Amino acid sequence: MTQFDYDLFVIGGGSGGVRSARLAAAMGKRVAIAEEYRFGGTCVIRGCVPKKLFVYASQFHEHFEDARGYGWTVGDTSFSWKALIEAKDREIARLEGLYRKGLENAGAEILETRAELVGPHNIRLVKSGKVVTAERIVIAVGGSANPHASLPGYELCITSNDAFHLEELPRSIVIAGGGYIAVEFANIFHGLGVDTTLIYRGKEILSRFDQDMRHGLHEAMEAKGIRILCEDIITKVSRTAAGGLLAETKNNGHLSTDQVMLALGRDPNTAGLGLEAAGVAVNDRGAVIVDEYSRTNVPNIYALGDVTDRVQLTPVAIHEAMCFIETEYKNNPTAPDHDLIATAVFSQPEIGTVGLSEEDAAKRFEEIEVYRAQFRPMKATLSGRQEKMIMKLIVNAADRKVVGAHILGHDAGEMAQLLGVSLKAGVTKDDFDRTMAVHPTAAEELVTMYSPTYRVRNGERV
C-alpha cells in the first residue's frame, strides 16, 4: 500500500489527459481524473470535431451547384443554423459519453471539478475543497483562445469557443488572424452564406506553410468571395447605435459587421493552477516546461498536450500520453517524436502537408528538387468549378529523400495522413517513381511527376 490516495492524478479531461488516465487505469493503477467543464477537451467539445462538422455543413451549397453539371436538378434549398447547432450538440454529447465510458470501463475515478495543485503530490478539488494526494500527477489542462485584451473593444468580439454556440448566424463577420482557426472559420462562415472578411497582419496567410499552399489557398478563397486583407490589423472594435459592430483597421478604414472573431492563437491554461505551490516551472508564455519525456522540473509531475506549447495538435497530445505511459508504467522510456507531423487545414480547398516547406528545405539543404503539379480535378470538369489542385514534393537532391509533401485541394488531409507514413519511413523520390498510380484519382499525380519542375541550389532557383 502506498502512502498516496492515487497512483496517478490527471488534471484535465481532454485528449491527452483522458488517454493517460484510461491507459494507466487499465493497467490496474489507482487513477483519478479531474475536469472542470466537459470530458473531451478542446478537440471534442469546441475544436476539431465540431469544426469539421461545420466544414461539412458549409460545403453543401457547392455540392448543390455542382450537381447540375452531372444532370441533377436540385430543388429549393435552405439552411437552418439552429438545426445544425442542435445536431452538432447531440453528436458532441454522444462523443463525450464515449470518453466517460472509456474512463469508467478502465476503472478511473471521474471527478467533475476544477483541480489545483497545492504541493508536489497534493491536489485540491475546488468543488469540495478536499485535498487529495497522488504519487504521480499529469497536467493536461490544454489551452484557451488568446482574448487579445489589449485591443479596445475586445470584449465585443467572439472567439472560436463562441462560434459553436451563436444564437444566430451573423450576416457578416470579420475574422482576425491568419492561422488554422481564422482560415478554417472564414471558409465555414462564407460557405454558410455569411459575408466574410479575413484580416491578417502578415504578408500572406498561414505563415508556417509552403508558399504555394498559401498563395493557392488565398486565391481560391478570394475567388469564392472571401475578402482577405493582409498586412493589416484591427485597432479598435465598437458597438454602433444600430447594434452592429465597427472594426477600425490600420490600413483599410472602418469595417461595419455583425460579428468580429479573434483567432489569434491559443495560450496555455496555467493561470491559477497552483504551479508555483508545486514548484513547477513555466516559460514566458505560461506554458509548462517539460523535458523530452514530458517531465516537468518536479520529478513526479508531468505535462502533456497544449499546456506545454510544443505542437498544439490533438494527435500529438495523445501520442505524448502514450509515451508517458510507456516511460513511467512500462519501464520503456519513450520520448514523443515530434518530427514529420502530418497536418491538415480544413479550409476550402483543404491543405494537407507533411515535412518541410520549399522555403525551409532550401535553407537546410544545398540543393533541392521541386516537383509541382497544378491541375483541375476531374470532378470539376462537368461541374464547371474553376478550383485548381496543387501538389508538390520537395526532394533533397543529395540522397533523393522526399523531405516535404504539400497538397491543396479536396481530400488533401486524407492524402497527408498516408504521405506521413511514407515520409516517416524515409521514402525516396525513386520509391514514388516506381509506385503504380491509382487511376483515375487526384492522388495519382503524386507518383507521376517524373521530372523536377525546378531545382533550388544554395537558395537560388535554377
Is residue 86 classed as helix, strand or coil in its secondary structure?
Answer: helix
Q: Per CB under 6 A, which region of 272-280, 317-325, 338-346, 396-404 contacts ligand NDP?
A: 338-346
Nearby residues of 319 by Cβ (< 8 Å), 6 or more positions away: 336, 337
Nearer to ligand NDP, 103 or 229 (CB): 229
CA–CA distances in Å: residue 134 to residues 72, 109, 263: 63, 13, 37
Catalytic residue among 61, 63, 338, 439: 439
What is the radius of gyration, based on Cα positions, of the chain? 24
CA distance 137 to 122: 9
Regarding 266 and contact with ligand NDP (CB under 6 A), the answer is yes
Contact between 201 and ligand NDP by CB under 6 A: the answer reads yes
Complex with ligand NDP: residue 199 or 442, whichever CB lies closer: 199
| 43 binding ligand NDP? (CB under 6 A) | no
CB of 35 to ligand NDP, least distance (A): 20
Q: Is there a catalytic annotation at residue 439?
A: yes
Give the chain's count of helices (H) and strands (E): 13, 23
| Nearer to ligand NDP among residue 7 and residue 210 (C-beta) | 210
Amino acid, single-letter form, for residue 13? G
Closer of 233 and 277 to ligand NDP (Cβ): 233
Question: Of these, 25, 192, 263, 303, which contacts ligand NDP (CB under 6 A)?
Answer: 263
Q: Which of residues 206-235 bind ligand NDP (CB under 6 A)?
A: 207, 233
Q: Which stretch binds ligand NDP (CB under 6 A): 86-94, 181-189, 216-224, 366-374?
A: 181-189
Using rule CB under 6 A, residue 249 touches ligand NDP: no
> Which residues does 393 contact at the CB level (< 8 Å), separation at least 6?
370, 371, 372, 402, 404, 405, 429, 432, 446, 449
- With helix as H, strand as E and coil as C, how does 426-454 read? CCEHHHHHCCCCCCCCCHHHHHCCCCCCE
49 near ligand NDP, rule: CB under 6 A: no
Binding to ligand NDP by residue 179, rule CB under 6 A?
A: yes
> Which cell is 12 given?
484535465
Closer by beta carbon to ligand NDP, 184 or else 358: 184
Check binding of 181 to ligand NDP (CB under 6 A). Answer: yes
**Distance set, CA 393 to CA 32, 339, 430, 446, 452 (Å):** 46, 17, 12, 8, 9
- Residues that contact ligand NDP, how many (by CB under 6 A): 22
Give the sign of the dihedral formed by CA 128, CA 131, CA 133, CA 137.
positive
Taking CB under 6 A as the rule, does residue 317 contact ligand NDP? no
Nearest to 145 by CA among 128, 162, 132: 162
Residue 100 contacts ligand NDP per CB under 6 A: no
Strands 389-396 and 367-375: antiparallel
Measured from the CB atom, the residue of 97 and 202 that comes closer to ligand NDP is: 202
Tell me if 377 contacts ligand NDP by CB under 6 A.
no
Catalog residues that contact ligand NDP under the rule CB under 6 A: 177-182, 184, 200-202, 207, 233, 263-266, 312-313, 343-346
Catalytically active residues are 439
